[in-house]
Chains A and B, each alone.
Chain A
Amino acid sequence: MAALVAALVFGGASGAATYWRVSVAGSASAEGRALTPTPPGDVSASCSTTTKAAVTLTWSAIPDASTYTIYESKTGGAYTAVASTSATTWTSGTLKKRSTYSFEVATTIGATWLSAPSTPTTALDIHGKHCT
């Protein structure tokens, strides 16, 4: 608890306001809280309409996000970071044929505050030069 020591400086004529100058003894503080970065909750993956054998991800913006990190899993393997963007859409390069890909997206706040990854997207298959 904090104590404020009041030093009465002057009072006016009868009936006038009395003014204080107040200094602090001890800790007169306030409480705040930091946010916890959250991943996008609506990441969707679809076959790219502009690049063959590629995938486009879209998601809704997260307030105060600086960038988003995209993680890729090929044919059930571990997710690894493959790109970073400040936009809310991202298109892969040409993916390896006869493979299945799914993705996750994480939010970065500032330079280093990284969220957990999003829920993985539905897996998409790459057949030859096509995506389904």
Chain B
Amino acid sequence: MAILAGTLAAGGAAFAASNWIVGLNSGSNGQGKSAAVSNLTITAVSSPSPANLLYPKGTGDVVVKITNPNSFPVTITKLKLPKTTAFAAGYTTSSLGSTKTGCGASKTGSDVSWHYATSTTGTAHTLTTPLVVNATGKTGDPLSVTLTSDAVMGTTASATCEGIYFKMPSFTGVTATAGGTSPTTSPATDGWTS
């Protein structure tokens, strides 16, 4: 099998597109191919509205929008989470413009974290159904996804968090493959259960 090592060609500032130029490593058989891959983006969004809302000792839905700037589909199979002590911050509006006093990103504030997160950063959690984000500009890109019951609120959540919005702590990575034959229809529902 051809082994291709990724080489970062141009990593921009945060949120800027970064292209990766891929070359062949020693030992490859010459059948590999070069590729230039642009970043995916994941954005916190409020639409569609989550069906399951958070409450102390309960789980709730969260919603993301995934954008694929590449000319080919991308299939995401796993998401990597920060550790369980990474908490969501509370916001007063769905646009996440103003933080909510008393409901900060702490255990005594929101007490909201990712469900099934562990004490270790970067644990990978397999999606129930792989997400195929279509090529840029095609139907299914961007892809809105409701992650069902993948946020959890602890017992110490402040009462100031009632009825407000949360921006979850950032994913630490995803596992994805290029390609995918059947793009996921947006909006989609997915998640992990362990």
Contacts and interface: CB of A to CB of B under 8 A. Distances in A.
List 8 A-B pairs, minimum CB-CB distance, nearest first: A110-B56, A36-B163, A35-B53, A8-B6, A30-B62, A28-B42, A26-B14, A31-B44
Interface stretch (A15-23, A44-52, A79-87): A15-23
A2 interface: yes
Contact of A13 (B1, B37, B151): B1
A1 B41 contact: yes
25 contacts: A2-B171, A5-B39, A8-B37, A10-B1, A10-B2, A10-B3, A11-B35, A24-B171, A25-B39, A26-B170, A28-B43, A29-B43, A29-B171, A30-B168, A31-B62, A31-B63, A31-B165, A32-B166, A34-B53, A34-B112, A36-B162, A37-B162, A110-B57, A111-B56, A111-B155
B54 A18 contact: no
A34 B60 contact: yes
Contacts of B107: none
B175 A30 contact: no
A103 B181 CA distance: 61
Contacts of A112: 56, 158-159
A103 B10 CA distance: 67
Contacts, number: 216
A4 B63 contact: no
A22 B168 contact: no
B130 interface: no
B166 A31 contact: yes
Interface in B33-75: 33, 35, 37-46, 49-50, 53-58, 60-64
Contacts of A113: 55-56, 157, 159, 162
A114 B162 CA distance: 9
Interface of A: 1-14, 16-37, 64, 109-114
A32 B161 CA distance: 12
A1 B67 CA distance: 10
A31 B37 contact: no
Contact of B54 (A9, A28, A32): A32
B179 interface: yes
Contacts of B159: 112-114
Nearest to B110: A34
B147 interface: yes
Contacts of A1: 15, 41, 43
A13 B166 contact: no
A113 B32 CA distance: 58
A18 B178 contact: yes
B19 to A, nearest CB: 9
B127 interface: no
B88 interface: yes
B6 A9 contact: yes
Given A18-B35, A23-B173, A114-B159, A29 B4 contact: no
A33 B39 contact: no
A109 B55 contact: yes
Contact of A64 (B18, B31, B50, B55): B55
